[in-house]
A = this chain, B = another copy of it.
């Protein structure tokens, strides 16, 4: 299984501590050696670092671990290739632009036989089930809402429906971000915690490293960290219920809803009837 890591905060925050533990799973404490990537939103821009190799011994991972990039939204992924060969174009997270915003997407799980028609507005570059699902999801958003981004609630509701439709084809844990909101869909395994005042010590599960957040934070800071498996062993991680979609903003949960997998095939969906029923 691949591994996901997300961060959403109310003040630009670096992810060096969490990434230090996370990247150890790319060949050191776990066997996800088939590529990794991390995307940092900085205002409307994105920095996306990708490598089609293990994180251990990667000079780019070394840079990301030691160079504090301050961001409100981060998505990272470590890959264990299952569908799609080991190649840069198959490495998560994936990036596209919609409504004048960059969108970042990373997926954990396998989708089988998910091949609805694509209309050419977003086309996969690689051959993973994940990038295909991302392209279809953005296509459906554009078809539903046209040229302008909808409001928060309408967007959340659409993502909930689409997550359910795609989720009918397999395990569909994902992190998705448009630079403002970080969406987390838990099909089988995701956990999160909120770090806020009073800050304390945190100790990594994957490396013997402790940080005292009191030395690095202001009282108003608030950070949500979401991961496939908890990154620290002395903090109160909360397992997201299976079959739920969550929206995080400003370091806190904003929306939450159950996802009905495969039940909703809305008018305008390009999933054909056979696939939906």
Contacts and interface: CB of A to CB of B under 8 A. Distances in A.
B123 A146 contact: no
B89 A45 contact: yes
Given A44-B87, A45-B88, A88-B47, A121 B121 contact: yes
B67 A60 contact: yes
Interface stretch (A93-101, A214-222, A250-258): A93-101
Interface string A31-70: 0000000000011111111111000000110010011000
B124 A100 contact: yes
B146 A120 contact: yes
Contacts of A66: 59
A91 interface: yes
A234 B2 CA distance: 50
Can you tell how many copies of this chain the complex includes? 2
Interface residues of A, number: 40
A169 interface: no
A52 B59 contact: no
Nearest to A98: B123
Contacts of A46: 88
Contact of A123 (B51, B89, B100): B100
Interface string A202-244: 0000000000000000000000000000000000000000000
B87 A43 contact: yes
Contacts of A99: 120, 123
A126 interface: yes
A122 interface: yes
Interface in A138-160: 142, 146-147
A117 to B, nearest CB: 11
Nearest to A50: B47
B96 A97 contact: yes
Given A121-B121, A123-B99, A52 B42 contact: yes
Contact of A97 (B43, B48, B123): B123
A48 B45 contact: no
Interface string A115-142: 0000111111110000000000000001
A100 B88 contact: no
A82 to B, nearest CB: 18
Interface of A: 42-52, 59-60, 63, 66-67, 87-91, 95-102, 119-126, 142, 146-147
4 closest residue pairs by CB, A with B? A45-B88, A120-B147, A45-B89, A100-B123
